[in-house]
């Protein structure tokens, strides 16, 4: 990837040389002319790289020349970075009101000597680059990299049409109306499309159909959306909502928009017209269709799509060329999919012919060589994207790559450059990830509950390509491999436990390494790294030893941008030395994986370029260092610890307006003034999505009114005083809020007016823990997930309350939690009952968990939970009545454990036709248990009062797994288990007085898994165990007599079970 590296470094050098600060210091030191000459040289080299890239595959001289240019540009970048570091030091001095520019340099060295050295180094590298540029026997043309510009917009269309001015379209209209009125399909949403050249009347025809009375009568909900060239899912969603409600949706996040849209379409038959679709993106199209799921059967999507004059004939030609390209893919799906994604927007015949006839297909192909289709797709990446992709080879095969980590690594290496369109580097990096994901270079995405991409993997074949194009740039030292690090490596990762096999002398050969991801077992290894790799940009240390402080020599790594420290298998408490503040170019600092920071430097204001500080939530800090408020580039601050009279106060968050993601604020009991929380301006940080407020209840100050302090913290989330409540906007971006250990907090909503007004409009996830006195909650209209632990009954009722509809003429009510999908209630000691009215508004609830509520005695109204799929009731010792279970038509999983007073479960459980998993454990009073015939997994353990098997087991024809421990009822199984033909797994637990396995077991001839636990009286295994020929796994535990009898090759029972492939005895696999 030499050409991509050179291009990327050249771009970075030009950006650095263009900075005002660097130019000012260049003028002050008298080296401005040399900098201009270097700038001109870099521009000249950059201009011929496109042509060099075309020739390097077949011309070894070009490849050699590119390698020489690459090494020289790396050297130039290091020199310019040295210069930039001095510029940054000068900027910090000026910020501290020392205005003499030359005096800054005098602080570290003689300014005349520094000017001489810098001038000499810049001139030397410029001459070296000019010499390499001229020293070639081949000609290179000047070319410019193509940059795709945004499409110009087309005029928006509308649904109105004057039918008197339309002629000759009756037949076409009737054909489309007939398709729309055909409601007999099985799909909830079907797709109808008309396409043709621009101007032939597609939009007019769509308007005629849209206004037809027959269509209007069948589709009470109709939406008209003009798409034009930009297929933006968010904008389309906003237009759909506006089309249905006639209301704008300003300043709403995508998650809130999709929630509103789903609410409008839920259960309704709708017609959506997408007019003027020009540029469909497959991924975005799939995303849009996902938003439309949930409407009634018969809903229709009708779109008009344009193509240019002559495109139909052109398309047929492309089909024929495409068939030939597919043959070249060799029948490998990944190759076809990747190349297809690349070719999708190639619309000209010559572009397809170029791909078909590419020299890449002609390269010699060995068994393990890179797929030509992948190489061809890579060759059409931009230089920046090539560099970013090749860097991914630093991760091992099969590694799950975290999106944010990767983007930060790209940024600190200088691979991503500003677009000049007010986009942050992180946003550009996110676009790169989406591009690689869309092209199938990244796969297996993991997404958050908000549908944000978290991580992904690379297919092994794609990883091979990344390694190939990276060449010696990226290298991994694998476990137990002979260390032979190639010359020219810039990015190094070790998989083995230490780098002890690489001596300090060997390390000096690779002093120019820019990335080092390494595991260390000794402090000496860390010291060697700090002394050997002076040009590191990225350093990730995984420690296998306890360490109190990093060596102070870390301050010598002045080029470092990314520092991550973690520990493996141990908890390490670490102090960062004061010298770390010399790392003035550091952008990312992370302490994760068991590495707990105990102390940070007193003042971190010199580290002005910090963008991300990620600390383990269990950090041992007693306070945050001063100067934090000056780090105005900071985007991520995972933890803020409020000090007890020392360190910076919460108000230092005021200027950190770029904070985003998650912020945990700990030790709030140390706050002594409401002014601090107000000055923090949390609400003003529009990109914050998750807030976690944590008090330490064990050290609450007796001299401070914690109720007032807690209320003041929550006050930071509410609107400014003085405006009308209904017009005020609470924290607009907040999606997740955790409130932990505030035992004295009583009120959240302080007035009756605030209790009835929707607040925190985007909040979808709420956790309240150990707030036993809290009584009131504001309305949360978008809440989807809620956890309430150690809270009061009043709070639960306040959260689940209903309120009158705003229309005074309506007698009905609306529900404050109509969007709630998951609810957990635990440790609420005064919760006596959950009456019918509590569940009435939870029509979307999918999961309900209630545990450790010692006073809860009955549940009623569950018939309203028509969407409930999972119900867990755990350790509620007074619970004795369940009502309304016959209405749980969506229930799939039911878990009831340690409910000691529950005597029966309603017969209505049999009507739960989707129930597939039932676990009943330690319900000692339970006597009756109806069973749904849809069950696939059934476990009944520790229910000694159960009287036989109500309804029997013979009807459970779908049952595949059964777990039992009711010894008194074992005989009743004899006649029924052999009827369970689908049964493949059987677990027998805690059966007393069972000397040998019951005879009925031999009748289950299809049994594949048999587990036997805690049967102390079981003396031996029966001879007929040999008849269970389908058995694949046998596990035995806490069956004392069998431990010796089942010893491999020696035990008396071994011949009876030796045919079983997998055998585990007391936790140890013996076969």
Q: Quick one: which of 996, 1028, 1029 has its CA closest to 1012?
A: 996
Give me the torsion for CA of 504, 505, 507, 509, rounded to 10°. Answer: 170
Beta bridge partners of 1064: 1035, 1069
* Gap between the Cα atoms of 861 and 872, Å rounded: 16
97-106, 397-406, 421-430, 977-986: segment of lowest average pLDDT: 97-106
Q: Quick one: which of 157, 138, 147 has its CA closest to 59?
A: 138
Using pLDDT thresholds of 50, 70 and 90, give the confidence band for residue 278.
low
* Gap between the Cα atoms of 203 and 158, Å rounded: 9
The residue among 175 and 561 whose pLDDT is bigger is 561
Contacts of range 957-962, beta carbons closer than 8 Å, 24 or more positions apart: 957/933, 957/981, 957/982, 958/916, 958/933, 958/934, 958/982, 959/935, 959/983, 960/936, 960/984, 960/985, 961/936, 961/937, 961/985, 961/986, 961/987, 961/1009, 962/938, 962/986, 962/987
pLDDT of residue 274: 87
* Gap between the Cα atoms of 1013 and 992, Å rounded: 11
Using pLDDT thresholds of 50, 70 and 90, give the confidence band for residue 723.
very low
End-to-end CA distance of the chain: 49
Pick the CATH number of 2-134 from 3.30.420, 1.20.120, 2.60.40, 1.20.5: 1.20.5
672: exposed, middle or buried (Cβ count in 10 Å: 0-12, 13-18, 19+): middle
How would you classify residue 732: left for phi > 0, otherwise alpha for psi between -120 and 50, otherwise beta? alpha
Average pLDDT over residues 82-105: 60
Give me the torsion for CA of 721, 724, 727, 729, rounded to 10°. Answer: 20
pLDDT of residue 341: 64
- 345: DSSP letter: T
Average pLDDT over residues 746-772: 73
Per-residue pLDDT tens over the stretch 264-274: 887 788 999 98
| Most confident among 165-174, 640-649, 960-969 (mean pLDDT) | 640-649
Per-residue pLDDT tens over the stretch 448-488: 877 788 999 998 888 888 988 888 889 888 765 566 778 88
Domain 163-309 and domain 948-1071 have a common topology: no
Residue 200 in this model has a pLDDT that exceeds 80 = no
Using pLDDT thresholds of 50, 70 and 90, give the confidence band for residue 190.
confident
pLDDT of residue 667: 87
The CATH number of 163-309 is: 3.40.50.300
Dihedral sign for Cα atoms in the order 321, 323, 325, 327: negative
What lies within 8 Å, CB to CB, of 158 at 6+ separation is 224, 226
How would you classify residue 315: left for phi > 0, otherwise alpha for psi between -120 and 50, otherwise beta? alpha
CB 124 within 8 A of CB 116: no
CB atoms within 10 A of CB 827: 17
pLDDT of residue 67: 83
Per-residue pLDDT tens over the stretch 7-60: 677 777 767 766 655 666 566 556 777 778 888 888 887 777 777 777 776 788
Average pLDDT over residues 732-756: 73
Average pLDDT over residues 648-652: 82
pLDDT of residue 823: 94
In the chain, where the domains are located? 2-134, 163-309, 315-384+418-466, 948-1071
Average pLDDT over residues 112-136: 79
Percent of the chain with pLDDT over 90: 17
Residue 338 in this model has a pLDDT that exceeds 70 = no
Task: Say whether 821 sits in a helix, a strand or coil.
Answer: coil
pLDDT of residue 775: 85
The residue among 634 and 160 whose pLDDT is bigger is 634
What lies within 8 Å, CB to CB, of 767 at 6+ separation is 737, 738, 739, 740, 786, 787, 789
The residue among 989 and 777 whose pLDDT is bigger is 989
What's this model's pTM, rounded to 2 decimal places? 0.74
Using pLDDT thresholds of 50, 70 and 90, give the confidence band for residue 590.
very high
Per-residue pLDDT tens over the stretch 512-544: 899 999 887 777 778 888 888 889 999 998 887
Average pLDDT over residues 809-836: 76
Residue 180 in this model has a pLDDT that exceeds 80 = yes
Using pLDDT thresholds of 50, 70 and 90, give the confidence band for residue 1021.
very high
pLDDT of residue 809: 41
Judge: domain 948-1071, CATH 3.90.120.10: no
* Gap between the Cα atoms of 311 and 763, Å rounded: 48
List C-alpha distances in Å: 865 to 398, 837, 871, 883. 41, 12, 10, 12
Q: Quick one: which of 716, 746, 755 has its CA closest to 734?
A: 716
Per-residue pLDDT tens over the stretch 661-692: 899 998 888 877 767 777 788 877 878 889 99
190-199, 295-304, 614-623: segment of lowest average pLDDT: 190-199
Residue 106 in this model has a pLDDT that exceeds 50 = no
Residue 735 in this model has a pLDDT that exceeds 50 = yes
Residue showing tokens 């309304």:
884
The residue among 802 and 739 whose pLDDT is bigger is 739
């Amino acid at each position: 990837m030499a050409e991509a590296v050179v291009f990327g470094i050249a771009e970075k050098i030009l950006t650095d040389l263009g900075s005002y600060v660097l130019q000012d210091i260049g003028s002050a030191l008298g080296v401005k002319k040399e900098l201009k000459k270097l700038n001109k040289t870099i521009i000249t080299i950059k201009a011929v790289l496109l042509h060099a890239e075309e020739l390097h595959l077949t011309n070894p001289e070009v490849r050699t020349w590119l390698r020489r240019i690459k090494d020289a540009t790396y050297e130039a970048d290091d020199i310019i970075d040295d210069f930039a570091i001095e510029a940054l030091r000068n900027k910090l001095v000026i910020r501290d009101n020392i205005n003499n520019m030359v005096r800054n340099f005098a602080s570290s060295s003689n300014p005349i000597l520094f000017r001489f050295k810098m001038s000499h180094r810049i001139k030397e590298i410029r001459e070296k680059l000019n010499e390499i540029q001229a020293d070639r026997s081949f000609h290179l043309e000047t070319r410019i990299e193509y940059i795709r510009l945004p499409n110009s917009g087309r005029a928006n269309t509308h649904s109105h049409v004057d039918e008197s001015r339309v002629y000759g379209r009756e037949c076409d209209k009737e054909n489309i109306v007939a398709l729309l009125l055909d409601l007999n399909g099985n799909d909830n949403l079907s797709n109808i499309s008309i396409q043709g050249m621009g101007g032939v009347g597609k939009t007019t025809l769509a308007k005629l159909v849209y206004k037809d009375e027959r269509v209007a009568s069948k589709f009470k909900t109709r939406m008209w959306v003009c798409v034009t060239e930009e297929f933006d899912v968010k904008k389309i969603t906003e237009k759909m909502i506006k089309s249905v409600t006639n209301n704008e949706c300003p300043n709403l996040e995508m998650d809130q928009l999709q929630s509103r849209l789903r609410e409008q379409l839920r259960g309704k038959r709708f017609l959506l017209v997408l007019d003027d679709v020009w540029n469909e993106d497959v991924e975005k199209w799939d995303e849009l269709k996902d938003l439309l799921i949930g409407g009634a059967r018969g809903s229709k999507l009708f779109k008009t799509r344009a193509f240019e004059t002559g495109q139909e004939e052109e398309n047929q030609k492309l089909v024929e060329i495409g068939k030939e390209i597919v043959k070249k893919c060799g029948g490998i799906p990944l190759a076809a999919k990747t190349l297809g994604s690349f070719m999708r927007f190639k619309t000209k015949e010559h572009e397809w012919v170029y791909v078909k006839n590419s020299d890449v297909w002609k390269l010699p192909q060995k068994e393990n060589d890179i797929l030509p289709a992948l190489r061809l797709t890579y060759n059409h990446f931009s230089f920046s994207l090539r560099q970013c992709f090749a860097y991914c080879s630093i991760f091992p095969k099969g590694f799950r790559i975290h999106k944010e980590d990767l983007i930060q690594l790209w940024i600190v290496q200088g691979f991503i450059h500003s677009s000049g369109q007010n986009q942050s580097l992180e946003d550009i990096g996110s676009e790169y990830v989406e591009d690689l994901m869309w092209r199938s270079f990244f796969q297996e995405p993991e997404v958050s509950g908000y549908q944000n991409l978290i991580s992904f993997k690379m297919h092994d074949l794609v990883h091979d390509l990344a390694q190939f194009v990276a060449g010696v740039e990226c290298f991994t030292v694998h476990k137990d491999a002979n260390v032979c690090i190639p010359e020219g490596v810039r990015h190094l990762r070790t998989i083995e436990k230490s780098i002890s096999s690489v001596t300090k002398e060997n390390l000096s050969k690779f002093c120019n390494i820019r990335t080092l991801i390494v595991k260390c077992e000794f402090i000496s290894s860390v010291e060697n790294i700090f002394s050997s790799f002076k040009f590191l940009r990225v350093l990730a240390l995984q420690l296998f030893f306890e360490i109190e402080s990093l060596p102070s020599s870390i301050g010598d790594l002045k080029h470092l941008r990314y520092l991550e420290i973690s520990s493996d298998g141990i908890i390490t408490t670490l102090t960062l030395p004061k010298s770390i503040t010399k790392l003035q170019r550091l952008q990312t600092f992370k302490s994760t994986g068991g590495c707990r920071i105990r102390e940070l430097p007193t003042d971190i204001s010199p580290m002005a370029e910090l963008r991300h500080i990620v600390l383990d939530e269990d950090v041992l800090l007693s306070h945050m260092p001063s100067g934090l408020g000056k780090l105005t580039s900071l985007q991520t601050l995972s933890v803020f610890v409020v000090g007890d009279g020392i360190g910076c106060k919460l108000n230092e968050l005021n200027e950190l307006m770029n904070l985003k993601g998650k912020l945990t604020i700990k030790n709030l009991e140390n706050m002594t003034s409401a002014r601090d929380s107000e000055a923090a301006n949390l609400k003003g940080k529009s990109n914050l999505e998750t807030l976690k407020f944590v008090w330490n209840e064990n050290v609450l100050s007796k001299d401070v009114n914690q109720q007032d302090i807690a209320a003041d913290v929550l006050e930071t989330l509410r609107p400014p005083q003085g405006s009308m409540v209904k017009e005020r906007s609470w924290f607009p971006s907040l999606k997740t809020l955790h409130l932990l250990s505030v035992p004295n907090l009583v009120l959240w909503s302080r007035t009756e007016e605030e209790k009835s007004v929707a607040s925190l409009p985007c909040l979808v996830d709420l956790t309240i823990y150990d707030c036993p006195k809290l009584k009131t909650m504001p309305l949360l209209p978008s809440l989807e997930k809620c956890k309430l632990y150690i809270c009061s009954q009043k709070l639960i009722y306040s959260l689940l309350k209903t309120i009158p509809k705003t229309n005074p003429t309506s007698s009905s009510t609306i529900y404050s939690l109509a969007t709630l999908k998951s609810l957990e209630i635990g440790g609420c000691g005064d919760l006596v009952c959950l009456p019918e009215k509590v569940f009435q508004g939870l029509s979307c609830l999918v999961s309900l968990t209630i545990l450790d509520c010692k006073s809860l005695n009955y549940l009623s109204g569950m018939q309203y939970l028509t969407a409930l799929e999972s119900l867990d009731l755990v350790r509620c010792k007074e619970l004795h009545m369940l009502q309304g279970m016959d209405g749980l038509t969506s229930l799939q999983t039911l878990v009831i454990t340690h409910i000691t007073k529950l005597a029966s479960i309603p017969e209505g459980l049999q009507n739960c036709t989707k129930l597939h998993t039932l676990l009943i454990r330690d319900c000692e009073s339970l006597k009756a248990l109806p069973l749904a015939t849809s069950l696939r997994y059934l476990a009944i353990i520790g229910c000694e009062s159960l009287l036989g098997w109500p309804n029997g087991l013979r009807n459970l024809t779908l049952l595949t797994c059964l777990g039992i421990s009711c010894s008194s009822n074992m005989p009743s199984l004899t006649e029924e288990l052999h009827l369970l033909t689908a049964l493949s797994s059987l677990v027998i637990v805690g059966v007393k007085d069972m000397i040998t396995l019951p005879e009925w077991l031999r009748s289950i001839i299809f049994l594949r898994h048999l587990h036997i636990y805690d049967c102390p009286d079981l003396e031996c295994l029966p001879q007929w165990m040999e008849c269970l020929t389908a058995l694949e796994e046998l596990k035995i535990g806490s069956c004392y007599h069998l431990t010796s009898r089942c010893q491999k090759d020696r035990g008396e029972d071994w011949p009876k079970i030796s045919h079983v492939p997998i055998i585990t005895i007391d936790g140890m696999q013996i076969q």
